[in-house]
Amino acid sequence: MADNNDNPQYLVGVDFGGTKIYAGVFKPSLQLVGTARISTKPQRGVDNVVERLARAVRDAVDECDLDMKQIRGVGIGAPGAVDPDDGCILFAPNLEWKDVPLKKELEKALGVPVFLDNDCNISMLGVYEVELEAKPKNVIGIFIGTGIGGGIVINGEMYSGFNRTAGEVGHMVLETGGPKCGCGNNGCFEALASRTAIFRRLREGVKDGEKTMLTEMLGKDLEDMRSGDLRKALKRGDKFAEKIIEEAAEYTGIAVANLMNILNPEVVVLGGGVMEALEDQMLAIIVETAMDYAMSGTSKGVKIIASKLGDDAGITGGAVLARRETRKSAK
Ligand SMILES: [Zn+2]
Compute the distance from residue 155 Cα to the ligand 1 centre, in Å. 28
**CA-to-CA dists, residue 188 to 121, 141, 291, angstroms:** 20, 17, 21
Q: Are the C-beta atoms of 22 and 2 separated by less than 8 Å?
A: no
Q: Please, which residues have CB less than 5 A from ligand 1, an ion? A: 171, 181, 183, 185, 188
**CA-to-CA dists, residue 58 to 10, 13, 34, 38, 160, angstroms:** 13, 12, 11, 12, 31
Q: Name the residue among 21, 24, 27 with its Cα closest to residue 48.
A: 21
pLDDT at 162: 87
Compute the distance from residue 238 Cα to the ligand 1 centre, in Å. 29
pLDDT at 326: 94
pLDDT in tens, 164-192: 888 999 999 999 999 999 889 999 999 99
Distance (Å, rounded) from C-alpha 116 to C-alpha 111? 16
DSSP letter (8 states) at residue 34: E
pLDDT at 6: 57
Compute the distance from residue 143 Cα to the ligand 1 centre, in Å. 15
Compute the distance from residue 177 Cα to the ligand 1 centre, in Å. 12
242 three-state secondary structure: helix
Residue numbers of the chain with a pLDDT score lower than 50: 1-4
Compute the distance from residue 188 Cα to the ligand 1 centre, in Å. 5
Name the residue type at position 283.
L
Q: Are the C-beta atoms of 169 and 148 separated by less than 8 Å?
A: yes
CA angle 201, 151, 28 (to 5 degrees): 120
For 224-238, letters b (16+ CB in 10 Å) and e give ebebebbbbbbeeeb
Compute the distance from residue 91 Cα to the ligand 1 centre, in Å. 16
Compute the distance from residue 162 Cα to the ligand 1 centre, in Å. 20
pLDDT in tens, 1-28: 444 455 789 999 999 998 899 999 999 9
Compute the distance from residue 61 Cα to the ligand 1 centre, in Å. 37
pTM: predicted TM-score of the whole model, two decimal places: 0.90
Q: Is 65 exposed, middle or buried (0-12, 13-18, 19+ CB in 10 A)?
A: exposed
18 three-state secondary structure: coil
Distance (Å, rounded) from C-alpha 273 to C-alpha 162? 29
pLDDT at 3: 47
Q: At what angle do helices 195-207 and 239-263 cross, to 10 degrees?
A: 150
Question: What backbone torsions phi and psi does residue 75 show, to the nearest 5 degrees?
Answer: -115, 130
Residues 6 or more apart from 116 whose CB is under 8 A from it? 75, 76, 77, 78, 82, 84, 87, 89, 102, 103, 321
Q: Is 216 exposed, middle or buried (0-12, 13-18, 19+ CB in 10 A)?
A: exposed
Distance (Å, rounded) from C-alpha 206 to C-alpha 220? 7
Distance (Å, rounded) from C-alpha 161 to C-alpha 139? 15
Compute the distance from residue 182 Cα to the ligand 1 centre, in Å. 6
65 three-state secondary structure: coil
pLDDT at 121: 93
Compute the distance from residue 159 Cα to the ligand 1 centre, in Å. 20
pLDDT at 4: 46
Compute the distance from residue 277 Cα to the ligand 1 centre, in Å. 23
Compute the distance from residue 244 Cα to the ligand 1 centre, in Å. 20
Taking the CA atoms of residue 155, residue 134, residue 309 and residue 284 in that order, the dihedral angle to the nearest 10 degrees is: 90
pLDDT at 331: 60
Q: Are the C-beta atoms of 82 and 158 separated by less than 8 Å?
A: no
